[in-house]
């Protein structure tokens, strides 16, 4: 750290810091206006009856309803399912990208990123065209005689999961790829020179060193997917009903803003809990790593 001896320079530095801080004011203002105020409004709404009186009845109604809990289970099933598939598909892909020559890696990365630039609505309907009963995939399967009957790929849990994985995979891949690319190649060479097989090098060097990236990616997938709406709405065929769909239904069919607000808060709390769990797990892991180096 440099110590600034000259008082004039110190004053300059202070001014600079103040100036930089003031630059962030518009952003802070927008965040406050666009995120915090509406959340406060939703919290208030959750304590109001349709007539506008204060009540805790909305909480009783929502928390005692079996519909809430079955929606919660569906939400977690979708998020965990998406996460599991993203880890299974994304980690090897990130490894392949990180070990490819830079030119090839850049090209492959462009392919990975391409879907990110397409609207989620377009992509979801695109999946519908591919997955439905007379869609391309089923036409290929039945046409080639692989299956006698078209498979139920769309309008169910499977279709929803496919759509969600497709959306989340690039977002999972980015931090994992970044972590793997930053691994010092000398460490892998060192492990190899000491007789590690490729499997051992992956297990004992690459995966532990990229764990931080896998963690960030997982957190992103989980928190993103908890609130997914369009994909289950289009590809779920009315049979996959997570909390987000429950909220929409409470608003549109029941016009019950109070209960919808309670469900929204439930979703928010769920995200916060999961976020904290991930951070705690990461801290624990970091400590274990330090212990391991100490020993």
Strand partners, 54: 48
Q: What is the 3-state secondary structure (H, E, C) of the chain?
A: CCCCCCHHHHHHHHHHHHHHHHHCHHHHHHHHHHHHHHHHHHHHHHCECCCCCECCHHHHHHHCCHHHHHHHHHHHHHHHHHHHHHHHHHHHHHHHHHHCCHHHHHHHHHHHHHHHHCCHHHHHHHHHHHHCCCCHHHHHHHHCCCCCCCCCCCCCHHHHHHHHHHHHHHHHHHHHHHHHHCCCHHHHHHHHHCCCCHHHHHHHHHHHHHHHHHHHHHHHHHHHHHCCCHHHHHHCCCCCCCHHHHHHHHHHCCCCHHHHHHHHHHHHHHHHHHHHHHHHHHHHHHHHHHHHHHC
**Residue whose structure tokens are 């377009």:** 122
**Residue whose structure tokens are 């997955």:** 131
* Assigned token pair, 271: 């995200």
Q: Which of 20, 22, 111, 134 binds another protein (CB under 8 A)?
A: 134
Shortest spacing between CB 73 and another protein, in angstroms:
10
Residue closer to another protein, measured from CB, 134 or 294: 134
Report d(CA 186, CA 184) in Å as an integer: 5
Among the residue ranges 94-102, 131-139, 192-200, 264-272, the one whose residues contact another protein (CB under 8 A): 131-139
Residue closer to another protein, measured from CB, 99 or 156: 156
Site size toward another protein, by CB under 8 A: 23
Residue closer to another protein, measured from CB, 220 or 260: 260
Q: Mark 229-268 with x for binding to another protein (rule: CB under 8 A) and - for no binding.
A: ----x---xxx-x-------x-xxxxx-x-----------
- Evaluate whether 129 touches 135 at the Cβ level (below 8 Å): yes
Residue closer to another protein, measured from CB, 131 or 168: 131
Q: Which of 57, 126, 152, 208 binds another protein (CB under 8 A)?
A: 152
Report d(CA 36, CA 261) in Å as an integer: 15
Shortest spacing between CB 255 and another protein, in angstroms:
5
Residues 63-122 close enough to bind another protein by CB under 8 A: 66-67, 70-71
* Assigned token pair, 29: 């203002």
Residue closer to another protein, measured from CB, 25 or 148: 148
Residue closer to another protein, measured from CB, 154 or 173: 154
Residue closer to another protein, measured from CB, 94 or 246: 246
Shortest spacing between CB 74 and another protein, in angstroms:
9
Does residue 130 bind another protein (CB under 8 A)?
Answer: no
Residue closer to another protein, measured from CB, 124 or 218: 124
Q: Which of 133, 166, 181, 282 binds another protein (CB under 8 A)?
A: 133
Shortest spacing between CB 79 and another protein, in angstroms:
18
Shortest spacing between CB 274 and another protein, in angstroms:
23
Among the residue ranges 113-121, 141-149, 151-159, 261-269, the one whose residues contact another protein (CB under 8 A): 151-159
Q: Which residues bind another protein (CB under 8 A)?
A: 50, 66-67, 70-71, 132-134, 152, 154-155, 233, 237-239, 241, 249, 251-255, 257
């Amino acid at each position: 750290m440099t110590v600034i001896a000259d008082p004039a320079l110190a004053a300059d530095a202070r001014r600079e810091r103040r100036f930089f801080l003031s630059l962030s004011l518009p952003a802070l203002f927008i965040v406050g206006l666009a995120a915090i105020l509406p959340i406060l409004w939703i919290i208030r709404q959750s304590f109001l009856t349709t007539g506008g009186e204060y009540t805790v009845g909305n909480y009783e109604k929502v928390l005692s309803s079996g519909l809430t809990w079955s929606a919660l289970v569906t939400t977690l099933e979708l998020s965990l399912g998406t996460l599991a598939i993203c880890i299974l598909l994304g980690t090897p892909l990130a490894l392949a990208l990180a070990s490819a020559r830079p030119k090839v890696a850049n090209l492959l990365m462009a392919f990975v990123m391409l879907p990110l630039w397409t609207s989620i609505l377009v992509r979801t309907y695109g999946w519908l065209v591919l997955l439905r009963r007379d869609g391309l995939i089923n036409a290929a399967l039945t046409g080639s005689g692989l299956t006698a009957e078209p498979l139920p790929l769309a309008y169910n849990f499977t279709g929803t999961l496919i759509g969600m994985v497709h959306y989340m995979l690039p977002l999972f891949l980015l931090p994992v790829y970044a972590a793997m690319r930053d691994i010092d190649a000398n460490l892998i060479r060192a492990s190899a020179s000491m007789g590690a097989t490729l499997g051992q090098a992956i297990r004992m060097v690459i995966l532990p060193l990229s764990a931080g990236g896998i963690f960030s990616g997982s957190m992103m997938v989980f928190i993103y997917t908890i609130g997914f709406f369009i994909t289950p709405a289009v590809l779920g065929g009315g049979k996959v009903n997570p909390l987000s769909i429950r909220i929409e239904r409470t608003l549109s069919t029941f016009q019950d803003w109070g209960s919808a607000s309670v469900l929204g808060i439930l979703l928010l709390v769920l995200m916060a809990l999961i976020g904290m769990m991930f951070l705690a797990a990461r801290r624990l892991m970091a400590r274990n790593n330090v212990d391991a180096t100490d020993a």
